[in-house]
Structure 1
Amino acid sequence: MQDDGNENAENAENAENDENDENGDDPFDAGGPYANVYDDIIDDVVLVNVLGSDDPFGDPGGIGSGFVVGDHVVTNAHVVGDANDVELQFRDEEWREGEVVGTDSHSDLAAIAVDDRPAITDGLSFAADDPVIGQEVLVLGNPLGLDASLSQGIVSGVDRQLPSPTGFAIPAAIQTDAPVNPGNSGGPLVSLDGDVLGVVFAGAGQTIGFAISAQLADRVIPALIEDGEYEHSYMGIGVSPVGPQIAAANDLEEARGVLVSEVVPDSPADGVLEPIDGETAIDGEPVPTGGDIIVSIGDEEIPNEARLTAVLALETAPDETIDLEVIREGESQQVELTLEERPDVDLP
């Protein structure tokens, strides 16, 4: 006969295992949390095939990824290119035709309409909260044309700037060490709750991949669906980081903000902001002087160019008047600037 102490210990262990089973945290569960997320959302992940492409293994053109949001499929603009129609393959293995209803090269996002979306899809949601460095993430998509693949990693960085063919940087991007390969582009980067943190953009190496943030996508995609395009805010300036030498050359108490290095003629900043107009030598090296140093937009501090572009992209719109705090000739000043829409650019 088992004594009471052993029986109580066994009951406690069984109760703990039951609780783990209910929470999906059972250490002996062969699937685990990654498998649970995969099962929950893979039906909404799509293989995107660009018609007429001669590249069967990845972007640009050829095979990419996408995912369902509402009644549309989200992917990268560079995946669909100039195509008006693409082929979409869902998890039911059937092909459907999709119509590209809008693209935005500045954010590298595209929206695709599909009339006969399969019943197995529920649609994914963009995350409301910003990603946290160190947070576990999953990437779903079709790397090298291998459909319905899963990779795992963490958020390695936030507020990254990505290059775009328009010459304007894509702001507020997410860096991850989850493996990302050609063909993953356009797929979702998701949290372990299954929320979309970003739209996979590209991989830059074995341990570095990037995604366009959910915050930017959630602004751009609805406009692409409604209007076929998205209007980005435009100031018309070039900026440089403010390091110790620039701070010393411009009599600043501390190195902060961004230096206005140039102002585009006839842009919103023309006549409002002042660019650099001279230079001085520090330790034998030329250092620019005389330009405005932007330190805040409204209540948002601007410590660097990445934050400047993120605030403009996520918190402003064309025709909006913004309040800038600048340091001009060593003194803090408040100036107003009315934003415009970015001008058209010729893509390469």
Structure 2
Amino acid sequence: MQNRLITILVVALVTASAGGVAATASVGQQDDRASGQQEQQQGRQCNFTQLYDRAIDSVVSVRVTTEDGQAGLGSGFLYDDNLVVTNQHVVANATNVELQFDRGEWRTATVVGTDPYSDLAVLRVRNVPGYAAPLPVADGQAEPGAPVAALGSPLGLQGTITRGIVSGLNRTIPSQQGFAIPDVIQTDAPINPGNSGGPLVNCGGEVVGVNTAGIQASENLGFAIPAEVIRRVVPSLVENGSYSHAFLGISSTELSPVVAEANGLERAQGVLVVDVLANSPASGVLQGSQRTRTVEGVEVPVGGDVIVRVDGQPVQSAEDLSSVLAESRPGETVTMTVVRNGERQQVRVTLGRRSPPDQ
């Protein structure tokens, strides 16, 4: 999971020798347990003042002008010596991009690459101030419950930090263009308009996510693109200007208890294939639903394949399927375990390339 680069105070163990060897061992064991508990509690603490001082010089405000003359505001962070990572939706249709560093310097940036499906973008900037250093991207996944901070310029308020914890993983959120973005981190660190593209960092100053959305009608509900997606997508944006996503070609629904009952299945786990797109990778391999049935007053699809595993990984929900496909690449052949007509069988699908969202 997430690497925690948190300084843990060393607790001195004081043992008592009275009572002989047996007494000493007993007290030592109690001290060891107390030490472990104290270290665990201290490891969960976070000095947000030190964290802010360490990371804020690497965070920028992003101001854009679009083709229709509109102005936009977001955030970003220094990823490499002259590269800045932000959200795709921050720089979409931008004709001019300006960055402001924490101590006030303005720089003009150019867009290197964008990927709407992960909502990530890379900018190139020259003459980066000497005090700004790239922020490291964390290895592994974030941990639920781990303390984090969101840095950026919410509502144009530059140099803002908000704190919270990782509230959940593997969330799926809708994009502004109508498709879903999988594998997103949920956090209760407040994220507001203008935070988009800024870093979500752990207590060691590592980027665990890129802030992408806050739900304004809800309290303490924000989302960020996780570090593993940054590590997978950003190098391709730098090299190619884009990232190719795998495409399966189905519409599906989760196997809720009602859907499972309608399909005569004992367990409500998996993803039911509702429809298979013509001439897609799944065409002729997977079977969609052919009819519906009314259960408890609800009309549900029946008869389609139920996907329960992909390349040995369990698929219990639509989020699981989206995560597996997000980690796959076009041209890769995956083995799917499906339940078809009440029996398990395996099929192989060679994934295609996902078209841009405007096509």
TM-score w.r.t. length of structure 1: 0.85
* Distance apart, 1:284 and its partner CA: 4.5
Which residue does the alignment assign to 2:89? 78
**Is 1:321 aligned to residue 333 of structure 2?**
yes
Aligned to 2:308: 295
Give the conservation status (yes or no) of the 8 Å contact 2:108–2:125. Answer: yes
2:186 aligned to which of 175, 190, 194 = 175
Task: Return the letter of the residue paired with 2:345.
Answer: Q
1:215 aligns to 2:228 (yes or no)? yes
Q: 1:121 to 1:286 in 2, by over 3 A?
A: same
2:78 is the counterpart of 1:68: yes
Which residue pairs with 2:170 in the alignment? 159
Quick check: 1:49 aligned with 2:76?
no
Aligned to 2:351: 339
| Change beyond 3 A, Cα 1:141–1:285 | closer
Select between 114-123 and 190-199 the one with higher mean Cα deviation. 114-123
Tell me if structure 2 keeps the 8 A contact 1:53–1:62: no
Cα distance in structure 2, aligned partners of 1:69 and 1:241:
37
Q: Which residue of 2 aligns with 1:123?
A: 134
Q: Give the aligned CA root-mean-square deviation in angstroms.
A: 2.1
Q: Determine which of 39, 43, 52 is the counterpart of 2:53.
A: 39
* Offset, 1:252: 1.8
Deviation of 1:54 after TM superposition, in Å, equals: 9.7
Structure 2 portions without partners, runs of 5+: 1-38
Answer whether contact 1:161 1:306 (CA < 8 A) is retained. yes
Once the two structures are superposed, residues 123-168 of structure 1 have per-residue CA deviations (whole angstroms, 9 ceiling, x without a partner) of 0122112112211110000011110111011111111111124433
Contact 2:66 2:93 in 1 (8 A): no
2:341 partner letter: E
Does residue 260 of structure 1 match 2:273? Answer: yes
Cα contact 1:42–1:91 (8 A) shared by 2? yes
State the AA in 1 paired with 2:122: A
- SS of alignment partner, residue 41 of structure 1: helix
Deviations 1:85-137 (A, max 9, x none): 41111123111111111111111111000121121122012211211221111
Q: In structure 2, what residue type is equivalent to 1:243?
A: S
Letter in 2 for 1:65: S
Matched residues in 1 for 2:208 and 2:295: separation?
44
Aligned length: 314
Report the Cα distance in structure 2 between the residues aligned to 1:216 and 1:122, rounded to whole angstroms.
Answer: 21
Is the alpha carbon distance of 1:219 and 1:154 closer, same or farther for their aligned partners in structure 2, counting shifts above 3 Å? same
Three-state SS of the structure 1 residue aligned to 2:94 is: coil
Kindly indicate whether residue 200 of structure 2 is the aligned counterpart of residue 186 of structure 1: no
Partner residue, 2:249: 236
Helix, strand or coil for the counterpart of 2:239? helix
- Between stretches 229-238 and 86-95, larger displacement belongs to 86-95
Please give the secondary structure, in 1, of the residue aligned with 2:215: strand
Amino acid at match of 1:140: L
Decide whether the 8 Å contact of 1:61 with 1:78 is kept in 2: no
Alpha-carbon distance, 1:80 to partner: 0.9
| 1:172-208 C-alpha deviation (Å, 9 max, x unpaired) | 1011111111111100011111111110011103311
| CA pair 38-284 structure 1, distance change in 2 beyond 3 A | closer
Q: Is the 8 A contact 1:105 1:165 kept in 2?
A: no
In structure 2, the partner of 1:4 is none
Instruction: Give, in whole Å, the separation in 1 of the partners of 2:89 and 2:241.
Output: 16
2:103 matches 1:102: no
Over 3 Å counting, the alpha-carbon distance change for 1:283 and 1:65 in structure 2 is closer
Q: Please state whether the residue corresponding to 2:320 is helix, strand or coil.
A: helix
Between stretches 86-95 and 284-293, larger displacement belongs to: 284-293
Matched, 1:202 2:202: no
Question: Contact conserved, 1:260 with 1:274, CA < 8 A, in 2?
Answer: yes
Q: Partner residue of 1:304?
A: 317
Secondary structure of residue in 1 paired with 2:222: strand
C-alpha deviation, 1:84, in angstroms: 4.5
Matched, 1:143 2:157: no
Q: Tell me, in whole angstroms, the C-alpha distance in 2 between the residues paired with 1:43 and 1:286.
A: 55
Equivalent residues of 1:200, 1:210 under 8 A apart:
yes
